Amino acid sequence: MGREAQTVCVVGAQREAVKALLEATELIVRGATLKKRYPIVALTQLRVSGEQLVFQVGEESIALELGAVEAAKWLQKINTPPPTLAAKLGISAAQPAWVLGALDEPALIAALGGARTQDPSTAAVLIAVVLTPDALAQVVALHATLPCRGLWAIYEKGKASPFGDAAVRAALRAQGYRDNKTTAISERLTATRYFRAE
């Protein structure tokens, strides 16, 4: 979600200046002594009260003094469900993907449910698991024969990855591709969307 604020947090009788971070799955509060991580799903009785965003977590009452306008924005963000992985990838029954490579991540398998085609000529995008330079080279050669311009390259995260972000980006840019979006697939895999430059 990506919102943050320097604010005052009130937890029960404790009141402290903190940095508050609103992430996709949790609200984090960091102060000198007050350090809390609240899962978004655990927040109840959410509301704006005057200048505060107020909520409960179990028996604990929490208030963030964000100001009325900012508190309303945080409330809206918290109440808006995050987009699904399928939405992030831009795939659906009407915009199906053609998939190359072994799929073993449950989140990706679920996202592709009902949004996958066996006919590459009808694909809106190619989704390819590319864990080695050879696999990427094969994908690029095949993608050149397809009508869809978009290619989601899925690869391992992190600096320790033998074929990660920097290597994938360099290889695809050398082939005339440009990237414009990245999304996490799992703790192990990430995906970057590339387009063939016209």
For 15-19, 33-37, 48-52, 161-165, which range has the lowest pLDDT when averaged over its residues?
A: 161-165
Topology of domain 85-196, CATH: Rossmann fold (3.40.50)
Phi (first) and psi of residue 7, to 5 degrees = -150, -175
Cβ 125 vs Cβ 90: under 8 Å: yes
What pLDDT, on a 0 to 100 scale, did the predictor assign at position 69?
96
Topology of domain 3-79, CATH: PH-domain like (2.30.29)
Domain with CATH 2.30.29.30 in the chain: 3-79
What pLDDT, on a 0 to 100 scale, did the predictor assign at position 53?
97
Taking the CA atoms of residue 110, residue 113, residue 115 and residue 121 in that order, the dihedral angle to the nearest 10 degrees is 110
pLDDT above 60 (res 1): no
What pLDDT, on a 0 to 100 scale, did the predictor assign at position 182?
93
In 3D, which of 163, 174, 111 has the Cα closest to residue 127? 111
Collapsed DSSP state (helix, strand, coil) of residue 114: coil
Q: What is the pTM of this model?
A: 0.71
What pLDDT, on a 0 to 100 scale, did the predictor assign at position 198?
66
Distance CA 73, CA 46 (A): 12
Taking the CA atoms of residue 134, residue 135, residue 138 and residue 140 in that order, the dihedral angle to the nearest 10 degrees is -110
- Bridge partners, residue 30, by sequence: 19, 35
Domain with CATH 3.40.50.150 in the chain: 85-196
Distance CA 67, CA 69 (A): 6
pLDDT above 90 (res 25): no
- Bridge partners, residue 152, by sequence: 127, 193
